[in-house]
Amino acid sequence: MKKLIFIFTFIAMGFASSDATADQCRSQLRKGNGDVIRRFMSNAPRKFLACSRAYLKCRRELTTRHLDGRNPYAYCTVGRALRPHRPRRDWLRRRCTADLRTFRGRRITSVRASVEGIVGTGLKRRACKKAMRKCRRKKARLGRRRAYCMVRR
């Protein structure tokens, strides 16, 4: 009986060790010009699953970088099991300038503001609103009652 249990355990361990071999896959976080920023690796029983996990790790890092405003054109590439994705070109920075002018129209000073975000979310409008806010604050600080702020086109 002990020999039977020993043989059964030995066979079961053989099957378990053959299933434990895992495929590896690598994913890379790259800048817009193709330079590698960081590499991610994952193990899984199947190649596709390993590549999916590595790609997910890369996307998480990419999302945090985009939210922080770092590497706006960065993208992820994956091993052969998944097709590498194209670089993200929809992350932009828009700038706007507002002028503080006298009541006769002479420019006193200029204020610039910039906003980063995704295309189609009104970046230019937000940047100009921010520049106008800064200009009004500067007007109040300078004590110019008859002056006005105007966005430069």
Q: Which residue has the tokens 């906003």?
A: 115
Sequence spans of domains, the chain: 21-89, 91-151
pTM > 0.95: yes or no: no
The tens digit of pLDDT for each residue in 65-79 reads 888 888 888 999 886
Task: Please choose, from the candidates 114, 29, 25, 12, the residue with its C-alpha nearest in 3D space to the C-alpha of residue 77.
Answer: 29
The tens digit of pLDDT for each residue in 53-105 reads 999 999 999 999 888 888 888 999 886 544 444 555 677 889 999 999 999 99
pLDDT tier, 10 (very low <50, low <70, confident <90, very high otherwise): low
Average pLDDT, whole number, for the chain?
83
On the question of pLDDT at 35 being above 60, the answer is yes
Distance (Å, whole) CA 21 – CA 114: 52
